[in-house]
């Protein structure tokens, strides 16, 4: 097993490894944001996968487990071939996270992502994007003439 940020092992002093506390602060910031406030499904989904990754239980991040634990599908009767709920909501969650980091989360120094093809989140350091001032490109001409 390698000592990478995604391996679950944390080499002492590695500046590229995010401490769980930093990830949890970012998680709380995301779920409290306008983008997620009205979306209890996505808040639950994101919390579930992030917390399981942080405690080293990535083996539980499977479609059937998520369907039962997050989306309330009946245990033992969920058929992922007939019910795409997890895949559909994972795609929506990815889109919502992207929008968050383009807007409210633009100043974040931590990024939580859910790569396509799976449900195990990634945690990465990021450079904040400069906040747009009162003049955006769509109104720059009007702002320049003030």
When pLDDT is cut at 50, 70 and 90, the band that residue 16 belongs to is low
> What global pTM score does this model have?
0.78
DSSP 3-state of 94: helix
Radius of gyration of the chain (CA): 18
Report H helices in the chain. Answer: 20-31, 34-37, 40-54, 63-69, 85-102, 140-144
Enumerate long-range contacts of 59-67, CB under 8 Å, 24 or more apart.
61/118, 61/119, 61/120, 62/119, 63/87, 63/119, 66/119
Q: What percent of the chain has pLDDT over 90?
A: 73
Average pLDDT over residues 73-98: 95
Q: How do residues 20-58 score in pLDDT, each as one tens digit?
A: 999 999 999 999 999 999 999 999 999 999 999 999 999
Q: How do residues 95-125 score in pLDDT, each as one tens digit?
A: 999 999 999 999 999 999 999 999 999 999 9
In this structure, the chain runs to a length of 146
Q: Are 115 and 98 in contact (CB under 8 A)?
A: no
């Amino acid at each position: 097993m390698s000592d990478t940020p995604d391996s679950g092992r944390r080499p002492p002093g590695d500046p590229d490894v995010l401490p769980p506390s930093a990830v949890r602060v970012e998680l709380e910031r995301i779920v409290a944001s306008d983008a997620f406030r009205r979306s209890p499904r996505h808040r639950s989904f994101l919390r579930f996968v992030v917390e399981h990754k942080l405690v080293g239980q990535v083996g539980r991040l499977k479609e059937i487990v998520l369907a039962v634990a997050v989306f309330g599908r009946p245990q033992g009767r969920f058929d992922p071939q007939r019910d795409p709920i997890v895949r559909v909501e994972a795609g929506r969650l990815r889109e919502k996270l992207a929008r968050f980091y383009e807007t409210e989360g633009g100043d974040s120094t931590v990024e939580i992502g859910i790569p396509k093809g799976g449900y195990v989140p990634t945690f990465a350091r990021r450079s904040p994007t400069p906040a747009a001032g009162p003049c955006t490109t769509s109104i720059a001409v009007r702002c320049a003439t003030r």
